[in-house]
Amino acid sequence: MKKVFIVTGASGHLGNTLIRFLKQKDVEIRGLIFTKEKSHDFDGVDYVKGDVRDKESLRPLFKNIQRKEVYVIHTAGLIDISNDVSPIMYDVNVNGTKNLIALCKEYKVKKVLYVSSVHAIPEKDKESLIVEVNKFSPNDVVGGYAKTKAEATQFILDEVRDGLNAVIVHPSGILGPYDNIGNHLVQMLVDYMNGKLPLCVEGGYDFVDVRDVAYGCLKALEKGKAGDCYILSNRHYEIKEVLNIVKNYVGGKNLFVFPMWLAKFFAPLIQAYAKKRNERPLYTEYSLYTLQSNDKFSHQKATKELEYFPRDLSETIKDTIDWYKGDKLPK
């Protein structure tokens, strides 16, 4: 039976990386891209323009699927490093997920993989190891993005209890090649390379290669049972450590490392300045909160069950820079 893989958010960082992986398999690939976005135009991929907020615009993804084994990978979402839940973020991340799942049930897809986030998992205290949980609530997490992902994740688990065959993954901070500077972390690297990053701040986070996340997604889809959750993380890296890797590879200047208290003081000014210039700020009150939050995520379950072994970030950064410069990456 012919296998069909539907990838939402197909032009996004993770979505287009997943399609690169899927193209190595003998499967039919369909990608959803937002109405105003451009696709990567991979040969053999059937792209559909639509909006997860508009249920009827998603139907072409499911055309002619009779007698086919259909798998849906839902990566589409609105990532925002502001603190509040905006109406559009809620509509995309929560209502959009509900629209897609309604169609998955209607068309009786074989299996769904939902890409959640580590931010959907309650943080606990600074010393506690964070592992997979089976209950999510927007009241237990901080930040608009985290709250919408927590609500959507719980919705998926509720649907599993109602018969949906779905698996959930929780990536940490995604970095890597194949991004068109939509990713905040990739933007930070490129801004530093171009001499546009004004400062470095104290703190860091768990950063993981997009290719390792894509691999973990496909393995979870293959091996995970309905209701299974997998953290796809790596390890903690300080921001100054990340920038030093870039500096050692392509050069760059030493940036003053702002203490966190000072960065928090200036964050509203940085946001206002970026808004005035119609630019996206890297440092916001919420992103600074994240850089000092508990990021002790355990990917032990994914390693044991999915053979998930994330690579060192130095390889990720080198390949990200090479991709940005237009160099071809090894297969």
| Rounded alpha-carbon distances, angstroms, from residue 62 to 78, 156, 236 | 23, 20, 40
| Domain regions of the chain by residue span | 3-176+206-233+295-311
Percent of the chain predicted with pLDDT > 70: 89
pLDDT band at 78 (very low <50, low <70, confident <90, very high): confident
pLDDT at 262 over 90: no
- Residue bearing the bigger pLDDT, 66 or 36: 66
Q: What is the pLDDT of residues 164-217, one digit of tens each?
A: 999 999 999 999 999 876 677 888 888 888 888 877 888 899 999 999 999 999
Q: For residues 156 and 114, is the Cβ–Cβ distance under 8 A?
A: yes
pLDDT band at 81 (very low <50, low <70, confident <90, very high): low
DSSP for residue 283: -
CA 141 to chain centre: 17
What's the whole-model pTM score?
Answer: 0.92
Q: For residues 24 and 44, is the Cβ–Cβ distance under 8 A?
A: no
Helix (H) or strand (E) holding 187: helix 184-193
Q: What is the dihedral of CA 248, 254, 256, 257, to 10 degrees?
A: 10
pLDDT band at 253 (very low <50, low <70, confident <90, very high): confident
**Res 118: pLDDT:** 97
Of the candidates 72, 80, 78, the residue with the CA atom closest to the CA atom of residue 91: 78
Architecture of domain 3-176+206-233+295-311: 3-Layer(aba) Sandwich (3.40)
Structure tokens at 72: 């849906």
DSSP class per residue in 205-219: EEEEEHHHHHHHHHH
